[in-house]
Amino acid sequence: MRILGIDPGLATMGWGVVDSEGSKCGLVKCGAVITPPDMPIQRRLHHIFLGVKELIATYQPEEIVFEELFFAKNITTAMNVSAARGVALCACADSGLPMYEYTPMQIKQAVTGYGKADKMQVQQMVKMMLNLPAIIRPDDAADAVAAALTHAASGRMKEQFLMK
């Protein structure tokens, strides 16, 4: 199964494509859709929309997984990232593919065994799990790959994470 993982963001939206067969996973490609801060918001969102559409067309995933948003304080950042997530969801909805979401804690738990692991622990485990020569950069791409790996490991339990 081919899984597209997405870590929503306005400035940097991480993505990762993973092939999963049984308990084996392999990284196909990962990266980020980047929008410059001096670009008008509507152009940034349109760029993200087109970027996600291109990822789906290029990599032909069977399922798509998002990292759920979590914000503690900054409402402005939350609104912008929510808008970016919304256009990414719209681009994915056009494909008709099933979409799933996992919380950051669920992803950390699945990848490291500890739900409060830090970013470096997650990145190191993703590197080890996929037998990569180096940690994935940028961080947002590593997070997207971790989300895809979480989904690959969820097996029959994945239906409880289906977006409704």
Which entry of 63, 101, 140, 143 is annotated as an active-site residue? 140
- Bridge pairing between strands 2-7 and 63-67: parallel
User: Active site includes 67?
Assistant: yes
Q: How many CB atoms lie within 10 A of CB 156?
A: 6
Which entry of 63, 67, 101, 143 is annotated as an active-site residue? 67
User: Active site includes 143?
Assistant: no
Which residues contact residue 107 at a Cβ distance below 8 angstroms, ignoring those fewer than 6 apart? 67, 122, 143, 146, 147, 150
Helix (H, G, I), strand (E, B) or coil at 56: helix
Nearest to 135 by CA among 149, 123, 148: 123
User: Active site includes 140?
Assistant: yes
Q: Assess contact for 147 and 158: CB atoms under 8 A.
A: no
The DSSP secondary structure of 126-157, one letter per residue, reads HHHHTT-SS--SSHHHHHHHHHHHHHHHTGGG
Among positive and negative, which fits the CA dihedral 13, 77, 124, 23? negative
Catalytic positions, written as ranges: 7, 67, 140
